Amino acid sequence: MKKVMALSLGELVLKGKNRYKFVNKLISTIKRNLRNIDHGKIYQNMGKVYVELVADNEDKMINRLKHVFGIVYIAPCYVVETNWDKIEEGVITIVDEALKKNPNYKTFKVKTNRGDKSFPLNSMEISAKIGGIVLKNFDIKVDVHQPDFYVYCDLKKDTYIYIDKFKAYGGLPSGTNGRGLLLLSGGIDSPVAGFLMAKRGVLVDCLHFHSYPFTSERAEEKVKKLAEDISTFSGELTFYSVNILDIQKEININCPEDEMTIISRRFMMRIADKIAKEGRYDCIITGENLGQVASQTIDGLKVTNDITEKLVFRPLIGMDKVNIIDIAKDIDTYETSILPFEDCCTVFLPKHPLLTPTVEGIVKSEEKLDCDKLVDEALNKMKIEKIGGSNEE
């Protein structure tokens, strides 16, 4: 009996005439994520994608496939010919394996999807017959309301039989929705923002601001680790590192103390906008969350928005902090994010930051600064490197 991974595709099936483009991109991403894992043919069949297993690497493959956006569920299946002798053999094999792994299982239910409408029995009749096979061979009972486990049967040209379904992230395949430049700090929020935009098909690269030597090299290594975590979902990414210490010093000398944070933020957006234009990015992505800190009030966001011509996505803008932390834990960025290394936002931090800035007021304060020169000097010292995407374990 052949074994495969069955991949359910979620919203990709709703893409109409463009669906093939999304599915082709998905298959390309699957190949990338599995490139150093032994596997057989990857193929489509009636709304699902299948990956043939050729070695005992099921768990490793499931973990890799969970990082492929576009997949909703992953199910290890036995594939048999669509005739009752083979179906019975497959059902007995997979139920026997499940009961050995889970001796506490006492009840089951069968769910059938009859894709091949030429088959002489309907879905309910097939389920009843499979249920009879299980009852005949195992000392367990049927429970149609709260079973301990399900036996799934997808009857197509071949028949796919499975029990376990592992939830993936869904979304859209990487690269189907353009390119985005993520402002990546060392905090909890921005990696989650990058993940959420990657989930919508955006290829994400990262821009990090630091204030070395006021911030440490270990702080930057922490951020690179977060970028590497993001790359496991979106593939190899470009990591831009920009030192804004000289900019912060000029702001500190020439501008009111309570405007330090908001003016620093405007410089970050100036730099991001310039990189985005030169790098042909479609958007800028931030981890801003409405009302979380002084620069993230509605007035503060108006003032920072005034700087950039690029579309700015803030996927966390209305989220609760608890929800953001839950996602960070789920995608394994939380523990890195809470490591106690400072970031550039803590340098020259005002005691009482301005909560209601205006564009006119901040522009007036910035008249004392040579903004273009400061941005160009920071960009001239920028470091660029490639990070991650290998999915090595």
pLDDT of 277 reads: 97
In 3D space, the residue among 56, 61, 90, 87 whose CA is nearest the CA of residue 74 turns out to be 61
DSSP string, 241-293: EEE-HHHHHHHHHHS-GGGHHHHHHHHHHHHHHHHHHHTT-SEEE----TTSS
Whether residues 117 and 187 share a domain: the answer is no
Whether residues 219 and 132 share a domain: the answer is no
Whether residues 122 and 204 share a domain: the answer is no
Instruction: Report the phi/psi class of residue 70: left, alpha or beta, with left for phi > 0 and alpha for psi in -120 to 50.
Output: left
pLDDT of 244 reads: 95
pLDDT of 19 reads: 83
Whether residues 240 and 312 share a domain: the answer is yes
- Which of 167, 192, 218 is a domain's end point? 167
Whether residues 186 and 115 share a domain: the answer is no
Does 174 fall in a domain?
no
pLDDT of 336 reads: 94
- The total number of structural domains in the chain stands at 2
pLDDT of 222 reads: 93
Give whole-number Cα distances, 214 to 35, 48, 265, 342, in Å. 41, 52, 18, 9
Whether residues 77 and 184 share a domain: the answer is no
Strand partners, 285: 182, 313
SS3 at position 153: strand
In 3D space, the residue among 83, 13, 2 whose CA is nearest the CA of residue 49 turns out to be 13
What is the C-alpha to C-alpha distance for residues 267 and 29, in angstroms, rounded to an integer?
36
Give whole-number Cα distances, 35 to 146, 192, 234, 376, in Å. 39, 26, 15, 40
Q: Which domain holds residue 61?
A: 2-167
What is the C-alpha to C-alpha distance for residues 243 and 23, in angstroms, rounded to an integer?
41
Q: Are strands 73-81 and 166-167 parallel, antiparallel or unpaired?
A: antiparallel
pLDDT of 103 reads: 96
Whether residues 35 and 159 share a domain: the answer is yes
Does 156 fall in a domain?
yes
Walk along the chain (393 residues) in steps of 10 and give the mean pLDDT of each run.
93 77 91 91 91 91 94 97 95 97 97 91 96 97 97 95 96 93 95 97 96 85 94 93 95 93 95 97 96 84 93 96 96 92 65 87 96 97 88 52
- Report pTM: 0.90
Whether residues 333 and 222 share a domain: the answer is yes
User: What Rg do the C-alpha atoms of the chain give, in angstroms?
Assistant: 26
Whether residues 227 and 200 share a domain: the answer is yes
pLDDT of 347 reads: 60
